[in-house]
Amino acid sequence: MKYPFDKKVGILGGGQLGKMLCLEAARLDIKLHILDKDESFPAAKLCHKFIKGDFTDYDDVLNFGMEMDIITIEIERVNIEALKELERRGKTVIPEPAALEIIQDKGLQKDFYIDRNIPTGSYRHFESKEDIIEAAQNGTITTPFVQKACRDGYDGKGVQVIKSIDDLSKLMDTKSIIEDLVDIDKEIAVIVARNPAGEIKSFPAVEMEFHPTANLVEYLCCPANITEEIEQAAQKLAKEVILAFDLHGLLAIEMFLTKDRTLLVNEVAPRPHNSGHHTLDASYTSQFEQHLRSILDLPLGDTSNMQPSVMVNLLGEAGYEGPVYYEGLDQAMNVPGAHILMYGKSETRPHRKMGHATVLADNVDLARKNAAQLKQLLNIKSKI
Ligand code: ADP
């Protein structure tokens, strides 16, 4: 086989996902080029070449992409028109812009699931806050419900639960969907990869535990504490979803397991995802390597777990903002089975994702206990 790694791979976005792609690319001598605004961003220090620019700008994306053989992303909020033009000009763009355009908008994404008979929770479209208030007042929708901004939400931003009529003043005034509150037993995620040769492989499901106030994942347990039947159903659903979107590369599928044992697709991300960070230390192939393999049309790697694991997101402490200071990092490094990965962000903010740790153990319970200890020991603050 021709050594394929002389291909120029360009990534839109230089955050922590870009950094982890660079770490894994280096092992295979794949040269990653990163487009983002600032050289201080996590991936900039590790990539083959950093190009300064704005991934939401048409010209910046087009000019960057024209220098590449393959273009991919680590964030969804990119300029879609430029990606479509790059595809027209014969570049390999993964994820494919047609699917990315649907995924970028939570309303279009939900409509897609309904069109394709993919199970998802019920929802309605709204144009403005005023329309939602009117619907709540005339009984078309009833509290509690979940409001999701159609565009540009991430890490729980752009999503809020409206518990009662008194909460209506909190509504975001933007195009959104209103979802019924799902009676969730567990939140799980499956990451699946597909290469152009047609191979499809998925990672075992993970169980996500959410931060009590920040509305983002705090702990991730793998394997998930679900029956073999649910695991199989989740794997099957993940494969159906990637085929329905006709996507290549990675697709992370977040699902709700309801109290009556139904799986519903909540949302997807066509890129490496927080729900696969443990794979760097706990799987034979990491999600980042799998993404690179799939976009370069290489054989997909073994997705089995080497060991049970729990990943904990290391978030900036509430109440601190400014130059970062890692309090207790030395003690945290002594936690058995812990692999710590700091993203190298110079500034902390409340609940900002600053790093993560994956704790390996003989069983998930022990890994969870040690991960909680690590979280307690390591506090991300600012000195000022
Ligand atoms: P984000 O894009 O920020 O990840 P999500 O759609 O995943 O937004 O929502 C964030 C979290 O909010 C979910 O993981 C879940 O805990 C909760 N949530 C979202 N939608 C619903 C719903 N319809 N019913 C109950 N909880 C929900």
Q: What is the CATH number of domain 122-180?
A: 3.30.1490.20
DSSP codes, 332-373: HTTSTTEEEEE---SEE-TT-EEEEEEEE-SSHHHHHHHHHH
For domain 9-93, give the fold. Answer: Rossmann fold (3.40.50)
Provide the residue type at 33 as one letter.
Answer: H
Confidence check: pLDDT of 169 > 60: yes
- Kindly provide the b/e burial profile for residues 168-186, where b requires at least 16 CB atoms within 10 angstroms of the residue's own CB: eeebbebbbbbbeebeeeb
Q: How far is the CA of 158 from the centre of ligand 1 (A)?
A: 10
- The answer to whether the CB of 73 falls within 8 A of the CB of 11 is yes
Domains 9-93 and 122-180 share a fold: no
Range name among 2-6, 169-173, 176-180, 371-375 with the lowest pLDDT average: 2-6
List, in sequence order, every residue forming a beta bridge with 34; answer none if it has no partner: 11, 50
Pocket of ligand 1 (CB under 6 A): 121, 146, 148, 153-156, 159, 179, 181-182, 184, 187, 210, 215, 254, 266-267
* Residue of 73, 71, 70, 61 whose CA lies nearest to 12: 73
CA distance 20 to 13: 12
User: 42-80: per-residue pLDDT in tens?
Assistant: 999 999 999 999 999 999 999 999 999 999 999 999 999
User: 196-247: per-residue pLDDT in tens?
Assistant: 999 999 999 999 999 888 778 999 999 999 999 999 999 999 999 999 999 9
Q: Which CATH homologous superfamily contains domain 184-382?
A: ATP-grasp fold, B domain (3.30.470.20)
Residue 217 CA: nearest ligand 1 atom is 14
CA distance 32 to 26: 9
Say whether the peptide bond before residue 95 is cis (omega within 30 degrees of 0).
yes
Q: Which residue CA neighbors atom 1 of ligand 1 most closely?
A: 156
pLDDT at 215: 78
Q: Enumerate the domain spans of the chain.
A: 9-93, 122-180, 184-382
Pocket test for ligand 1, best of 266, 267, 268 (most atoms within 8 A of CB): 266
Q: How far is the CA of 58 from the centre of ligand 1 (A)?
A: 31
Q: What would the mean pLDDT of 122-145 be, rounded to a whole number?
A: 94
pLDDT at 1: 56
DSSP codes, 56-96: TSHHHHHHHHHT-SEEEESSS-S-HHHHHHHHHTT-EESS-
Q: How far is the CA of 159 from the centre of ligand 1 (A)?
A: 7
At 383, the pLDDT band (50, 70, 90 cuts) reads: confident
Residue 157 CA: nearest ligand 1 atom is 3
Neighbouring C-beta atoms of residue 114, cutoff 10 Å: 12
Residue 180 CA: nearest ligand 1 atom is 23
